[in-house]
Amino acid sequence: MTAHTVDALLREASGVLSAAGVEGGRRDARLLLADLLDCAAGDLLTRGDAVVNAATADAFRARIGRRADREPVSRILGRRGFWRHEFLVGPETLDPRPDTETVVELALEALPDAEGRYSVLDLGTGTGCILLSILGDRPNATGLGIDIAPGALAVAAENARRLGVPDRARFARGDWTAAVNGKFDAIVSNPPYIPDAEVPRLDPEVSRHDPHTALKGGPDGLYPYRVIAKEAPRLLRSLGSLIVEVGAGQADDVATLFEDAHLRVIDVRRDLAGIARCVRAANG
C-alpha cells in the first residue's frame, strides 16, 4: 500500500488546483488537509514527513476535487470565520465575506452603549452572521432575523445556539418586511445587489455555489433597497439607524433612495479595499 506524507499530498493537490486555475491553491490545500488532521494549518509546515493514512488521503483528494470545481473552502468545510466567531454555512446561505464586517462595525457605532438593551432587525439574515455578531458584542441586545429561505433560517438558528445567544435571537420566514411589526433601534441588511444579468458572469465560486436568490437584486441591483427604504421609517424608532451593505458604485444611488424616503444619510463607510461598502441612515 502506498504511503502518503503531508508534503506529498500537498504537492499533488497544489498541482491539481493550479491546473484548475485556482489562485492560492497551496493555502487552500493546507486548510483542507489540516481540518481532516484536526490541527492548525500552520502545523503542517513542521509535519511534512508525517504519514497520512489511506482513508484520510482519499478524503483529502475528494475535497481537492471539489475545490478544483471552484467550490469555496468554506463551503467544503461547512463554516466560515466572520467578525469574532465561526459560522456554519449552508446551500441556502451566502458565504460570509470580510467586506460585510463593515456592516457590523457601523451597527455597533450606531448602538454605542455596550450594555444597552437594543433591538435589531436583520433583513435577509442568511447565516445570521451580521445579527449574531452584533448580539455577541451587545450582550443585552435582542434581534430578529428574516429570510425567505427555510434552509438559511435553520442554519442561522443553529449558529445562534452555537454562539450561546438562542434566547436573544429569533428567526422567522418572510419576504423582507412583509410580516414584521414593532420598532427597532437598528435595521441591518446585506441584501441581494447584483443586477440579474451579471450573476452568471461572477467568479465561479460565487455563480456556481452561492444561492442566486441571495445575489440577484433585480434588473439594476437596487430592488431590495427600494423595499427597505419604503418600510424602514415604519420600523425604526426615532433616531434609529438603517445600515446596509451595497455593491461597488451603488452607494450614491442607495443614499438617494433613503433620502427620498425621508431618512437622513449620516455615513458611507468604505471597506478595506477602499470601496464604498455601507450606507447608514437615521430615522429623524
Do 27 and 92 belong together in one domain?
no
pTM above 0.85, yes or no: yes
Q: Which residues fall in the annotated binding site for substrate?
A: 190-193
Range of the domain at 42: 4-69
Q: Which residues fall in the annotated binding site for S-adenosyl-L-methionine?
A: 124-128, 147, 176, 190
Tally the domains of the chain. 2
Do 225 and 266 belong together in one domain?
yes
Do 163 and 242 belong together in one domain?
yes
Q: Residue 40 sits in a domain of what CATH number?
A: 1.10.8
Q: Residue 74 falls within a domain, yes or no?
A: no
Element (H, E) at 86: strand 85-88
Do 146 and 223 belong together in one domain?
yes
The type of residue at 284 is: G
Question: Each residue's pLDDT tens digit in the chain (284 positions)?
Answer: 355 899 999 999 999 999 999 999 999 999 999 999 999 998 898 888 889 999 999 999 999 999 999 999 999 999 999 999 999 999 999 999 999 999 999 999 999 999 999 999 999 999 999 999 999 999 999 999 999 999 999 999 999 999 999 999 999 999 999 889 999 999 999 999 999 999 999 999 999 999 999 999 999 999 999 999 999 999 999 999 999 999 999 999 999 999 999 999 999 999 989 999 999 999 98
Distance CA 161, CA 169 (A): 9
Q: Which residues fall in the annotated binding site?
A: 124-128, 147, 176, 190-193
Do 19 and 140 belong together in one domain?
no
Q: Residue 217 falls within a domain, yes or no?
A: yes
Do 49 and 134 belong together in one domain?
no
Distance CA 128, CA 40 (A): 26
Do 220 and 96 belong together in one domain?
yes
